[in-house]
């Protein structure tokens, strides 16, 4: 689903008995246990055979998102589809550029925002309007929680 704010994504996931993934959960689902560069491996680079992205034209020539699961060759080691491209995906975590310098090595739960000093949420995966360098599994980016955009969406976990 796209064109939803962070709160709408979070509310939907909770309503359905699930939740937004933490950034670490999202990354593990995308990279597998071996820490791959892309869900399908370290090579070849991102292209329209595996990812909905900019390849001369937005959305692999369609100028829009594609139906979920349209690029099965881009599946992750866990079988998750569309981890790269199509939509940037909201995560549960607040964005703190310095968080991973001091984060636990195992299952980091994201920065604490009890003081309301962080203003962005982490988004991952790139979108249909991303160049190839933005659709790699390790890339972190951030979104304004109230933003709604055709390139921004979510997935739920349980």
Domain ranges of the chain: 20-102+111-144
Residue 117 pLDDT more than 90? Answer: no
* Model confidence, pTM: 0.93
pLDDT reported for residue 109 = 87
pLDDT digits (tens, 9 = 90+) for 4-53: 999 999 999 999 999 999 999 999 999 999 999 999 999 999 999 999 99
pLDDT reported for residue 106 = 85
Is the bond into 131 cis (omega within 30 degrees of 0)?
no
**CATH class name, domain 20-102+111-144:** alpha beta
Question: What are the DSSP calls for 106-119, one per residue?
Answer: SS------TT----
Please give the span between the terminal C-alpha atoms of the chain, in angstroms, as a whole number.
17
Residue 152 pLDDT more than 90? Answer: yes
**CA torsion through residues 58, 59, 62, 65, sign:** negative
Alpha carbons 70 and 117: distance in angstroms, whole number: 39
What would you measure as the largest C-alpha separation in the chain, in angstroms?
Answer: 44
Residue 54's φ and ψ, nearest 5 degrees, are -80, 125
Tokens, residue 129: 């309007």
């Amino acid at each position: 689903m796209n064109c939803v704010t962070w709160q709408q994504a979070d509310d939907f996931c909770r309503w359905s008995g699930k939740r937004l993934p933490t950034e670490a959960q999202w990354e593990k689902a995308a990279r597998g246990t071996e820490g791959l560069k892309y869900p399908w491996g370290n090579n070849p680079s991102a292209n329209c055979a595996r990812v909905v992205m900019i390849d001369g034209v937005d959305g692999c020539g369609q100028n829009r998102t594609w139906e979920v699961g349209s690029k099965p060759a881009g599946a992750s080691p866990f079988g998750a589809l569309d981890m790269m491209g199509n939509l940037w995906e909201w995560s549960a975590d607040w964005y703190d550029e310095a968080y991973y310098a001091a984060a636990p090595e195992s299952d980091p739960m994201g920065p604490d925002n009890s003081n309301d000093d962080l203003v962005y949420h982490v988004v991952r995966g790139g979108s249909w309007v991303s160049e190839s360098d933005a659709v790699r599994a390790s890339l972190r980016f951030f979104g304004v929680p109230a933003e709604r955009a055709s390139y921004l969406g979510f997935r739920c976990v349980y």
